[in-house]
Amino acid sequence: MSNLARIAITGASGRMGRMLIETIGQSDKAEVTGAVERPGHDWIGQDLGLCLGGAETGVTVTDDAATAFAAADVVIDFTAPAATLGFASAAAETGTAHVIGTTGFTDEDLTALSAFGGDIAIVRAGNMSLGVNLLTQITKQVAAALGPDYDIEVVEAHHNRKVDAPSGTALMLGQAAADGRGVDLNEVSDRGRDGITGARKQGDIGFAVIRGGGIVGEHDVIFAGPGERLILRHIADDRGLFARGALTAALWTLGKAPGEYDMLDVLGL
């Protein structure tokens, strides 16, 4: 019997699904034992390896999440909010830990997800990279140090296939800035400017969004103050960055008590 952690991948054919399968394939600590796609997808019923243009793996792509999860130690899920809510319910039923990279949740979705943290270990982060999670800590520190005459703006850029905005990462950075200032992000965030907007309101945290080409993910936190600007920047060069973070999180969940965790817990930041 193998000592490898058994991992089920949802959204197996997606950009992140493929990257996760490649990353886990190179790991000596884990193996892909399940692959889930949405009902009606071409890959359902086919061998995962053949779908990816490689050798047969013995893993059949399925739309039956519960069966795939029951045979896994942990699920890694980068799909879409509605799908992830369903997967959290299935993972809670099968007692399988759930690593969530999906972004674009509403506050109601997040409340619903929280309930499953009573049954299983859930790690959720809008960005699984070490650099961004470190940047949230730095952003909080800088926001706490600078007064309200430093305007905070979060600018993010992503590829033209991304469906949610602002990005999960931008929201993490905005939350960190709000935490640093001791304010409620919902009360100060300015997420859409168009037309005669009036002057900027002091204390707001603004978000701006760029979509184009194949940009993997870029984030700036700008502190624009009297006579100077401080800009904190993260650039992701390669999606493998997120997949490696997700695998680290998946291995970290093994033996963990039920609860809601994030990458700061995983990385010990």
Ligand X SMILES: O=C(O)C1=N[C@H](C(=O)O)C[C@H](O)C1
Question: Which residues define the annotated binding site for NAD(+)?
Answer: 11-16, 37, 101-103, 125-128
Name which of ligand NAI, ligand X, none residue 38 binds, using a CB cut-off of 5 to 8 Å depending on partner kind: ligand NAI
Please give the torsion angle defined by the CA atoms of residues 240, 112, 38 and 104, in that order, rounded to the nearest 10 degrees.
-50
**Residues in touch with ligand X (CB under 6 A):** 103, 126-127, 158, 162, 167-169, 217, 236
Look at residue 143 and give its three-state secondary structure. helix
Compose the 64-83 pattern: x for residues touching ligand NAI by CB under 6 A, - for all others.
--------------xxx--x
Of the pair 17, 126, the CB lying nearest ligand X is at 126
Name which of ligand NAI, ligand X, none residue 10 binds, using a CB cut-off of 5 to 8 Å depending on partner kind: ligand NAI
Please select the residue that binds ligand NAI; options are 242, 247, 252, 260, rule is CB under 6 A: 242
Q: Tell me how far, at minimum, the Cβ of 168 lies from ligand X, in Å.
A: 4
| Structure tokens, 121 | 């270990």
Binding of ligand NAI by 62 (CB under 6 A):
no
Give the number of other Cβ atoms within 10 Å of residue 268's Cβ: 6
Name which of ligand NAI, ligand X, none residue 125 binds, using a CB cut-off of 5 to 8 Å depending on partner kind: ligand NAI
Binding of ligand NAI by 61 (CB under 6 A):
no
| Cα(213)–Cα(75) distance, integer angstroms | 30
Question: Can you give the three-state secondary structure of 213-247, one letter per residue?
Answer: CCCCCEEEEEEEECCEEEEEEEECCCCHHHHHHHH
Measured in Å, how far apart are the chain's first and last C-alpha atoms? 35
| Cα(13)–Cα(221) distance, integer angstroms | 32
Q: Exactly one of 140, 158, 219, 234 is catalytic; name it.
A: 158
Quick one: which H or E segment has residue 248?
helix 240-253
Q: Exactly one of 29, 41, 162, 256 is catalytic; name it.
A: 162
Q: Whats the size of the chain, residue-wise?
A: 269
| Cα(71)–Cα(90) distance, integer angstroms | 12
Of the pair 121, 236, the CB lying nearest ligand X is at 236
Binding of ligand NAI by 150 (CB under 6 A):
no
Does the annotation count 158 as an active-site position? yes
Look at residue 42 and give its three-state secondary structure. coil
Does the annotation count 41 as an active-site position? no
Q: Which residues are annotated as a binding site?
A: 11-16, 37-38, 101-103, 125-128, 159, 168-169
Question: For residues 38 and 7, is the Cβ–Cβ distance under 8 A?
Answer: no
Residues marked active site are found at 158, 162
Q: Which residues bind ligand NAI (CB under 6 A)?
A: 10-11, 13-17, 36-38, 41, 78-80, 83, 101-104, 125-128, 164, 168, 242
